[in-house]
Structure 1
Amino acid sequence: MQKTIIFRAIKDQSNAISILVGELLQEIMDRIGIDAFHFDLEETKARLAEFIEQEKNFVFVAEDNENGELIGFVTVYEGFALYAEGAFGTMAELYVRPPYRSQGIGKMLIQSVKDFADERGWKRLEVTTPPLPQFDATLSFYEREGFEISGGRKLKVVI
């Protein structure tokens, strides 16, 4: 029996997924030493439920089949661009709880997104890594999964 199962999340799982989002953001901030994100569990839970319900985000979760605990997730959203030749997907978040890492769960989550992308007719997937060099291992992971550096840097302006 497979220990981990991957499936598309429903909005009723927003609380459990939002807890994982908080863990992801805290891990990033701890590693870079900057409070880069504002996280409020209730706000995130409500936002995620809306995103799932309105298909603004498609969320896949990894569940430990032995205890039913959610142990990882990936979010992806659809975008449109001329350079991408139409519709494409962007993975916004990917997280696996530390005790479950290096067991192929991240790979399984990415494969679920690749399969979903194929169903939707997307020609490409994009992802932005957390800050380097603190997350060089994350970059290496994505490269092992077939992602290539496409240049540039992610920039933002808060409005």
Structure 2
Amino acid sequence: MNTITIERAKHDQTDEIAILVGDLLQEIMDRIGINIFHFDLEETQERLADFIESEKNFVFIAIDGVSNQIIGFVSSYEGYALYAEGAFGTMAELYVKPSYRSQGIGKMLIQALKEFGDQRGWKRLEVTTPPLPQFDATLSFYEREGFEISGGRKLKKVL
């Protein structure tokens, strides 16, 4: 019996979600062997609370009905581009605790985000994978969920 529910995150859940953000970033850094993220729990909690309140981010959480704990989340933001033919969503983070993986929870989170995007008139949903080849399995997961490779590498310039 599946006791996992998906719901939109609320302001009072940011402390628990921020811990998962830290877990996600640490997992990426451990796999690639490079310390590429700065993570401060308190700053992340404050930033996440602001993002949720101001709707800069739309966050959905997976809750284990047995333990009543948040076991995964997806965060996204809305963008607008000519190439995307208008409004679209970008998945900023998707994370499921390792002990809950391969149970369809990531798929459930993406489905909730797709339905939300449909309601907002998004034309597409985009995501950038963590570094490859260390995250080839993540790329395969997204492809199974209907995502297609649409471009080159993600680049950044710190301002």
Bucket of the pairwise TM-score, normalised by the shorter protein:
over 0.9
For residues 2 and 99 of structure 1, the distance between their equivalents in structure 2, rounded to whole angstroms, comes to 15
**TM-score between both structures, scaled by the size of structure 1:** 0.99
Aligned to 1:76: 76
How far apart are residue 48 of structure 1 and its match? 0.2
For residues 35 and 69 of structure 2, the distance between their equivalents in structure 1, rounded to whole angstroms, comes to 28
- Output one character per residue of 1:15-57: Cα deviation in whole Å (capped at 9) or x when no partner: 0000000000000000000000000000000000000000000
How many pairs does the alignment contain?
159
The SS at the match of 1:26 is: helix
Moved over 6 A (4+): none
Aligned to 2:99: 99
How far apart are residue 2 of structure 1 and its match? 3.2
CA RMSD of aligned residues (A): 0.6
For residues 48 and 149 of structure 1, the distance between their equivalents in structure 2, rounded to whole angstroms, comes to 29
For residues 2 and 138 of structure 2, the distance between their equivalents in structure 1, rounded to whole angstroms, comes to 25
AA paired with 1:71?
I
Aligned to 2:135: 135
Aligned to 2:154: 154
Identity across aligned pairs (percent)?
A: 76
For residues 37 and 151 of structure 2, the distance between their equivalents in structure 1, rounded to whole angstroms, comes to 24
Does 1:18 pair with 2:18? yes
The SS at the match of 2:117 is: helix
Aligned to 2:30: 30
How far apart are residue 67 of structure 1 and its match? 1.0
**TM-score between both structures, scaled by the size of structure 2:** 0.99
How far apart are residue 117 of structure 1 and its match? 0.6
- For structure 1, the residue ranges without an aligned partner over 5 or more in a row are none
Aligned to 1:9: 9
How far apart are residue 11 of structure 1 and its match? 1.1
The SS at the match of 2:148 is: coil
AA paired with 1:106?
G
How far apart are residue 83 of structure 1 and its match? 0.3
